[in-house]
């Protein structure tokens, strides 16, 4: 696998894994900020991430990172003469 694709998979997977903890932090930060205002007795913010969504984010991110690692560790197939001939034929047809 080409390195830019692997790097993209790792970064995106890490962001997916980090999304629920960041969401929890921002949720709690909003609660603290709203409760700290004078005259506010009760705060109700709806929209926390469900357990199933947390698991889906974690699983998807982990799979993406795993695919990037496994595909990067696998050596690419050597370039053969038949591949070169096919490329030359395609180039000659397009030009």
Q: What is the pLDDT of residue 16?
A: 95
Residue labelled with tokens 């395609």: 90
Query: Closest by alpha carbon to 20, among 63, 44, 66, 56?
Result: 56
CA distance 79 to 91: 17
pLDDT digits (tens, 9 = 90+) for 34-44: 888 888 777 77
pLDDT digits (tens, 9 = 90+) for 10-30: 999 999 999 999 998 998 888
Residue 25, φ and ψ in degrees, nearest 5: -60, -45
Q: How far is CA 26 from the centre of its chain?
A: 20
Domain range holding 23?
Answer: 3-94
In the DSSP assignment, the letter for residue 74 is S
How big is the chain by its Cα radius of gyration, in Å?
A: 24
Domain count, the chain: 1
> Counting runs of H as helices and runs of E as strands, what totals does the chain give?
3, 0
Helix, strand or coil, per DSSP, at residue 46: coil
């Amino acid at each position: 696998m080409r390195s830019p694709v692997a790097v993209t998979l790792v970064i995106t997977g890490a962001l997916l894994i980090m999304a629920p903890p960041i969401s929890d932090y921002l949720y709690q930060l909003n609660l603290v900020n709203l409760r700290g205002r004078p005259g506010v007795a009760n705060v109700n913010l709806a929209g926390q991430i469900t357990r199933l969504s947390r698991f889906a984010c974690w699983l998807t991110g982990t799979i993406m990172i795993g695919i990037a690692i496994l595909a990067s560790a696998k050596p690419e197939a050597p370039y053969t003469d038949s591949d070169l001939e096919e490329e030359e034929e395609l180039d000659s047809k397009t030009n």
